[in-house]
Structure 1
Amino acid sequence: MKKLIPLAVATALLLTACSSGNYAATQIPAEPQAAPTTSTTPAPPRPCPDGVDALASYAPDASTPAPLGEMPAGSFMADIKARGRLIAGVSADSLNLGSRNPLTGKIEGFDIDMINAVAAAIFPDAATNPNRVELRVISSPQRIPSLTAAKNPVDIVARNMTINCDRWHDIAFSAEYYRSGQKTLVPRDSTATSVTELNGKTICAPRGSTSLANLKKKNPQVVPITADTDTGCLVLFQQGKAYGISGDDTVLAGDAAQDPYARVITTERFSEEPYGLGISLLHPEFVRFVNVVLQQMKDSGAWKTSYDKWLKAALGPAPVPPKAIYGRVPVKQ
């Protein structure tokens, strides 16, 4: 089967391309690593640190300010407002979630809409002042370190990140804002109807993602390799170094849209991937505030409007927005 290479390669080049604006999207440098890499056996996941449901976040309380209200002195929201902008870690290569528009140079998508809503809840002029948001492009492995570094390079992460107990040891999550699931992308002429039929095939999954562990659990007979980004896996697929890609259905839908020789096995979804916005454990008040913003988006219809714009064409009509679950108590740091 003859394959075309340029689509994903061109997208990868856009990751480092400059764009207009005082706070043009910047990229946090990745740790040096040869690519592709053959994955190693991941460490067993840790149980939730407090025994609470993984999806349980911090409930808004009487101290949580309303969007566009006065941010309490000493709160992280007040610090963000004083700085003049919200700094977010995002993807620039996940089509429809967070990807750079090749015509405008701007990063856009469903995840970016979540970030813009948080910024608009802090800054009254966010809708007309693009400098209220600074987007920093991060890879999958950088999502947690970007929130746990001694000097956090970002305030919040919106990069199709699955909420799970293991990650609650390192960062905090907002309430769930989308429910994805893992599927597999294969060549269009493949007859496979399940990843269990791909014994001995090389399958790519992003390094530092839950997709890698799920893939190994579903079929230990595949040969997993990794890349730091979604586009990295797509490039390996297009170069013939990976037979397929395994990952979130949201991401794979974007991959398939960029490669006419690829298709997603739509009949098999073998995981549940609840997305949350990642925030430092040091700022539970910011988590509560973000939860208010997300609930307002769900209640007002803004969440559905964003879904319809970015995901409906690939994934079908909008589902009911995920219901927020609360009950977690912040652990003193």
Structure 2
Amino acid sequence: MKKLIPLAAATALLLTACGNANYATTQIPPVPSPSVAAPATPAPENCKGVDPLASYQPDGPLPDPKGPMPAGTWMETIKKRGRLIAGVSADSFNLGYRDPITGQIQGFDIDMIYAVADAIFGKPAPGEAHKVELRVISSPARIPSLRDTKNPVDIVARNMTINCSRWDQIAFSAEYYRSGQKTLVQLDSTAKNADDLSDQTICAPAGSTSLDNLKKRNPKIKPITADTDTGCLVLFQQGKAQGISGDDTVLAGDVAQDPYAKVLPERFSEEPYGLGISLQHPEFVKFVNGVLEQIKLNGYWKASYDRWLEPALGKAPAPPVARYGRPIPPK
């Protein structure tokens, strides 16, 4: 089957650049006091007696972005610097991708970053950019970019699943989106689920939970990796992989770029997304959790979902309910 490479190839040419998109976002009103609610679904695993989806309880209403941030906090450091530094994807269509026409990085994950930046600096005036530096990173670089002692990022928004092993290395915000793993195959494939893909080469991003889940789901599958989602799509379009396995959000973007692909209906994992932050800054995690509480209540979260994800994934679900109660580790 002859393959076309529409947006994937164009995006791949732009991956090494950094960007700062500028478009209207919903004004963030004052946040109400966060509340602790019962989780809607059970935790997928247990982290030494701590719910893996439990993050740090916000301290209360967010500080006014028109004034200084609390002294001694990482938010104060960010504000004095003049920009929030975020690690993001530039090739995950509708989550974090570079528009090949405008050159702007945009998507659902990027909107989460803008909400955090606006809570620190205030909403930009018309025609001004958000005070954000977007650094394009690969999946394997997500955790190292937060642990870099010389030039770290403040936050990572790159469809990153919260799990126990990652909590040993970085901190996570409360869950901001619930995805799940599926598999993309050629449009004429007769496969119904992963059981039908034995002995076939399936691509998953390196350093992702998708690769481990795929091996567990069907050990007879031949896995192959790429550093980026676009890398997997290119291997698929070149015929070097018979499919791609990953989060349904990412695969929905792949299908939008490739008319010869389809996504199998089987969903064989739960992928709760969190914003990654350094373990050294629990007060920043609390702040981000306050922002997430806010945007889930004021319509910003739904407006972003409707813009980027609804066309491929359908009507917006209820935003994930935040779970708190994680003890802050001693320094």
- Fold in common (TM above 0.5): yes
| Structure-2 separation of matches of 1:74 and 1:18 | 29
Worse-superposed segment, 141-150 or 6-15: 6-15
Letter in structure 1 aligned against 2:15: L
Q: 1:127 to 1:170 in 2, by over 3 A?
A: farther
Give unmatched runs, 5+ long, in structure 1: 22-45
- Mapped to 1, the partners of 2:46 and 2:317 lie a distance apart of 29
> Residue 145 of structure 1 corresponds to which residue in structure 2?
144
The answer for the alignment partner of 1:289 in structure 2 is: 287
Matched, 1:244 2:255: no
- Residue 259 of structure 1 is matched in structure 2 by 258
How big is the shift at 1:308? 0.2
Gap change, CA 1:120 and 1:20, over 3 Å in 2: closer
For residue 149 of structure 1, report the CA deviation from its aligned partner. Answer: 1.5
* Partner of residue 83, structure 2: 85
**Cross-structure match for 1:66:** 63
Counterparts of 1:15-164 in structure 2, within 5 Å, are 15-16=15-16, 48=47, 50-61=48-59, 65-66=62-63, 68=65, 70-126=68-124, 128=126, 129-130=128-129, 132-164=131-163
Letter in 2 for 1:207: A
- Aligned CA distance change for structure 1 residues 124 and 102 (closer, same or farther; 3 Å): same
Deviations 1:44-91 (A, max 9, x none): xx962x5210000000125x7435254111100000000000000000
**Secondary structure at the residue paired with 1:136?**
strand
The aligned residue for residue 43 of structure 1 is none
Structure 2 residue ranges without an equivalent (≥5): 22-44
SS where residue 165 of structure 2 aligns? helix
Aligned to 2:317: 319
- Matched to 2:138, the amino acid is S
Paired residue secondary structure (1:104): coil
Contact 2:20 2:133 in 1 (8 A): no
User: Percent sequence identity over matched residues?
Assistant: 72
| 8 Å Cα contact 2:157/2:275 also seen in 1 | yes
Q: Does the CA-based 8 Å contact 2:11-2:99 persist in structure 1?
A: no
The CA distance in 1 between the partners of 2:270 and 2:166, in whole Å, is: 16
Deviations 1:132-189 (A, max 9, x none): 1000000000000000122242100000000011100000000000000000000000
SS at match of 1:96: coil
Distance 2:53 2:246 in 1: 20
Q: In the aligned structure 1, how far is the partner of 2:50 from the partner of 2:124?
A: 35
* Contact 2:203 2:225 (8 Å CA) reproduced: yes
1:126 is displaced (CA, Å) by: 3.3
Partner of residue 275, structure 1: 273
| Paired residues, number | 307
How far does residue 196 in structure 1 lie from its aligned partner after superposition?
1.1
2:13 aligned counterpart, secondary structure:
helix
Q: Distance in 2 between matches of 1:326 and 1:127?
A: 34
Q: Rate the CA distance shift 1:174–1:17 in 2: closer, same or farther, 3 A.
A: closer
Q: Which whole-Å deviations, capped at 9, do the CAs of 1:227-256 have from their partners, x for residues lacking one?
A: 000000001001111110000000000001
Displacement after TM superposition at 1:193 (Å): 0.9
Distance 1:247 1:229 in 2: 11
Cα pair distance change 1:298/1:67, threshold 3 Å: farther
C-alpha contact (below 8 Å) 1:96/1:110 kept by paired residues: yes
Equivalent residue, structure 1, for 2:232: 233
Query: Could you say which residue in structure 1 is the equivalent of 2:297?
Result: 299
Deviation for aligned residue 1:6: 5.0
Is residue 2:209 matched to residue 1:210? yes
Q: Secondary structure at the match of 1:143?
A: helix
